[in-house]
Amino acid sequence: MLHNIFKLLLEMKKWWVAKKQCLRYNHNMENSDRESDDVTPLDLLFSSNYTTREKRNERLDICKGCDRITFATRQCKECGCFMALKTWLKEAECPIGKWISE
């Protein structure tokens, strides 16, 4: 149990760092009028931030078919986020626009 909590916290820390990289990437994108999404790993703690299972699976299926994913960890090479987790959040979005927030 403690081991699983530690693993989750470690995963969240990695995602938090990756999120900062993602925001920097979005900020540096030329000619982009898209706003950066505001999701953080802490949003996973509140079920009100979650989308439906159908929407999450739809997003994850898109990621699984994307050439920008590292399949073993399901980590996006564009933003560094862990897509098995990020796809649950309503306000999350793909950094290159393959799927959008609700």
Q: Which of 14, 26, 96, 101 binds ligand SF4 (CB under 6 A)?
A: 96
| Contact status: 69 vs ligand SF4 (CB under 6 A) | yes
Residues 6+ away with beta carbon under 8 Å from 49: 39, 43, 89, 90, 91
Name which of residues 34 to 63 contact ligand SF4 (CB under 6 A).
62-63
State which residue, 12 or 69, has the beta carbon closest to ligand SF4.
69
- Candidates 68, 84, 90, 101; binder of ligand SF4 (CB under 6 A) is 68
Q: Which of 31, 28, 15, 11 is nearest to 79 (CA)?
A: 15
Helix (H, G, I), strand (E, B) or coil at 69: strand
